[in-house]
Amino acid sequence: MGQRPTRRFPVLLGIGLLACSGGCPAGAAERVMLGDASLTAGIPGTGPITVEEVERFLADPKNSVELSPELPLGLSQGTKQITGLDTNPLTRAKIELGRQLYFDPRLSADATLSCASCHDPSQGYGANTRTGLGIRGQQGGRNSPVSFNRILSGAQFWDGRADSLEAQAVGPIANPIEMGFTHEGVVERLKGIPAYEKQFQKVFGGVSIDAVGKAIAAFERVIVTGPSPYDYGEQLRPFADLDEDDIQEDEELAKKYAEAKAAAATYAMSESAQRGREIFFSSKGNCTACHVGANLSDEKFHNLGVGMDKPEPDVGRFAVTKDPKDTGAFKTPTVRNVAYTAPYMHDGSLATLEEVVEWYDKGGHANPNLSDKIKPLKLTDQEKADLVAFMRACTGPTPAVETGRLPAQP
């Protein structure tokens, strides 16, 4: 072998050393692996968060240190795709403030709904209803997408109308059929809660709607999916091209190989899921024409014909670009943890992953703007089952999150 085999494994062996970890010198960012539950564990204590607890938390300098995040195995392929940190750097204090706001129903007019009502950690950070259920039981027109892995995503909403996570986060508060409040109203209310006021003061210099958006976005950016059986399988893949003897000659590589092999065995993909992976990635299924990259989404907009048979179809991306070609096009959702977030599609019209696969198999629904990447697939029943098994193997852990601890009402 002409080349040292380690060169072929930049992702496995390359470790960025730009930031420090633990006991950082002043001014240096702290390196942190996203998924680390200490980021989302909440201010220590029980019951409503008191002003004294907030003061103690904010007085600890480590909570104000800028964080330099690393992505877990799988998502780490998308490190270059990380967005938003230049204008809204992460700190533990900001993430914690965002966590509280995310779970706090006081952000809605009648204090009944929080972000988590429609993006619930126990429902895969989506909601298992067909469309979002807003204030006073009002029904929205679209299915709640997931709020994780947003650190790899720029434009938000099914039609991409918010160009950042910060802009997105304040939208629902003032949406009459979501949280039904006003931005002025929410700022006044938060100013009246001393445990919030203190945190906004320290992190942003005061309460503002802009700060609310930044804090919530910071929290969302640390909610990422950890390695799934699919990712452990991918980690083992490059070794398949190498000669076993060559691997064993290189001590470090041999160690990596042994680790990758053990992990892939512990979090094994079924044979069906492995076959499904081949269909997903090859021209047979053509799924990676759109579900590509670390988060299995191209972040682009496509028309699959979903809902296009209705008398007045949702125009989707057209509302943003006014380009007729974008009529009925919606943003490619991630396939990560998709097993948790039925029903599917922008209108929640497909109940199961099996139904989604049938949709693709029949070539979507014919309409003038159907994507040219959508064609009948003519899969066998086994192949359809394999695709579903593969998508189920794209399920990884999300970090443990404190949901109950919120600032005390004075």
Residues that bind ligand HEC (CB under 6 A): 107, 113, 115, 117-119, 132-134, 140, 142, 144-145, 147, 150, 156-159, 168-169, 172-173, 178-179, 216, 285-287, 289-291, 302, 304, 306, 330-333, 335, 338, 341, 344-346, 353, 356-357, 360, 371, 373-374, 387, 391
Q: Which is nearest to 226 in space by CA: 16, 36, 14? A: 36
Cβ–Cβ under 8 Å, residues 155 and 320:
no
CB of 373 to ligand HEC, least distance (A): 4
Instruction: List C-alpha distances in Å: 373 to 158, 215, 302, 369.
Output: 19, 38, 9, 11
CB of 178 to ligand HEC, least distance (A): 4
Cβ–Cβ under 8 Å, residues 347 and 307:
yes
CA distance 342 to 350: 8
CB of 81 to ligand HEC, least distance (A): 14
- Smaller CB separation from ligand HEC, 5 or 172: 172
- Smaller CB separation from ligand HEC, 118 or 260: 118
Instruction: List C-alpha distances in Å: 278 to 195, 304, 379.
Output: 52, 22, 13
Q: Which is nearest to 357 in space by CA: 392, 406, 326? A: 392
Cβ–Cβ under 8 Å, residues 30 and 24:
yes
- Smaller CB separation from ligand HEC, 74 or 364: 364
- Smaller CB separation from ligand HEC, 46 or 283: 283
Two structure tokens written together for 209: 């709607």
CB of 212 to ligand HEC, least distance (A): 8
- Smaller CB separation from ligand HEC, 51 or 292: 292
CB of 14 to ligand HEC, least distance (A): 29
Two structure tokens written together for 94: 């900001």
CB of 72 to ligand HEC, least distance (A): 19
- Smaller CB separation from ligand HEC, 178 or 231: 178
CA distance 50 to 69: 29
CA distance 197 to 211: 12
CB of 146 to ligand HEC, least distance (A): 7
Cβ–Cβ under 8 Å, residues 175 and 134:
yes
The per-residue b/e assignment along 286-310, b for 16 or more CB within 10 angstroms, e otherwise, is bbeebbebbbbbebebbbbbbbbee
CB of 80 to ligand HEC, least distance (A): 20
Rounded to the nearest angstrom, the gap between the alpha carbon of residue 389 and the centroid of all alpha carbons in its chain is: 21
Residue 270's CB: how many other CB atoms inside 10 A? 14
Instruction: List C-alpha distances in Å: 298 to 47, 196, 345, 406.
Output: 42, 37, 16, 36
CB of 289 to ligand HEC, least distance (A): 4
- Smaller CB separation from ligand HEC, 67 or 133: 133
Two structure tokens written together for 25: 């010198």
- Smaller CB separation from ligand HEC, 49 or 223: 223
